[in-house]
Amino acid sequence: MTARIGVVTFPGSLDDRDTQRAIRVAGAEPVALWHKDKDLKQVDAVVLCGGFSYGDYLRAGAIARFSPVMEPLIAQAKEGLPVLGICNGFQILTEAHLLPGAMLGNDHLHFICRDQKLRVENAGTAWTTDYTAGQEISIPLKNMDGRYVADRRTLDELEAEGRVAFRYVDFNPNGSLNDIAGVTNAAGNVVGLMPHPEHAVEPLIGTGRTDGLPFFTSILKKLVNA
């Protein structure tokens, strides 16, 4: 049976179709979820895609966090449902307190769009098992509010527990503390990152590499072997 992975579209989402395509390329079935849906249509995993939900009014992800679809998503994520938040999706996950920390405006106060080198720090999450710890990958990055911050106690816990999933290499593009590009929850089923793996799944688009494809093959293998 084909794994079904939901992709939530909020008003202002930009990368829902790209994410659906990445899921299809990996061999799973993408399922479109609308922000007003009150159920998740029995999907096996969910991706919160990139964009500018609700125009980033108040702050990025702050309004989307209260969309009807988030109620079942939060409840099921706490029970083990795999959830990936990409860029704006990462911001929404922090607003929903499914991931620790917060996202602030880039320290240089400009939108940034570039290919970004990352180091995989945790290859044991539901979304990263097709990587190896220490592996360096190149993933497109595009954001205005990508600066990851947290209090010192939270940062120390993330580092000590191995919950920094990805770290920027060579260049910190937004001032994120500890060069953090992505984090995971303690259970490893919820992951958020600022760069866009869905733009790096085919040689002819994005970076011209497929460094983002293992996100989607990782979750597919986990679901198939569950």
**Angle of helix 213-225 relative to helix 16-26, nearest 10 degrees?**
60
Q: Is 196 considered catalytic here?
A: yes
Cα(64)–Cα(139) distance, integer angstroms: 25
Catalytic residue chosen out of the listed positions 87, 95, 121, 199: 87
Are the beta carbons of 25 and 17 closer than 8 angstroms? Answer: no
Catalytic residue chosen out of the listed positions 35, 95, 121, 196: 196
Q: Is 71 considered catalytic here?
A: no
Are the beta carbons of 69 and 41 closer than 8 angstroms? Answer: no
Q: Is 49 considered catalytic here?
A: no
Closest alpha carbon to 193 in 217, 210, 171, 176: 176
Residues with Cβ within 8 Å of residue 34, at least 6 apart in sequence: 8, 9, 69
Catalytic residue chosen out of the listed positions 35, 95, 198, 199: 198
Distances (CA, A) of 79 to 5, 63, 157, 161: 17, 24, 22, 20
> Letter for the amino acid at 23?
I
SS3 label, residue 106: coil
Q: Would you name the residues annotated as active-site residues?
A: 87, 196, 198
